[in-house]
Chain A
């Protein structure tokens, strides 16, 4: 049986250094009629 785990950002870890607020607001760039945050880029330059 196989389980392949993708390399992903650990959300629990991001609690330690996240929240800088520099990222884009959620529907600013294209949709204007719905909301999602999954496609927002993290802009925290210190944690990259």
Chain B
């Protein structure tokens, strides 16, 4: 399970997918679920041999919730901490969440390398930690990996 507002991109395709031997990527995002053009682009951009499923958060809760215990070859990509919270509340009990990239913008503060967050997002992630989710910040395997709870007090 990874939060990355760029969804599928170089790090995901060139590094993560090979590292984790992923065979399926599930993108849970309401915006993309409504946009057939982006769905097509994301499907076509995935490396050969990897299926890409796109669903809205509601659909995600339904499908991912049933799959527990999670299949380890599936990578779930989300765009924001809010989406992670919604999935969790809907009954998708993931135990580990990787934050790989969150862009900067007004009202967002740099937390770690290329990861910026608003105060609201920080609070959401903190609440997930309280619910027993291990949250790590790491862009690619082999790079420095830090625990969210050690970074934000």
User: Does A pair with B?
Assistant: no
Interface residues of B (CB under 8 A from A): none
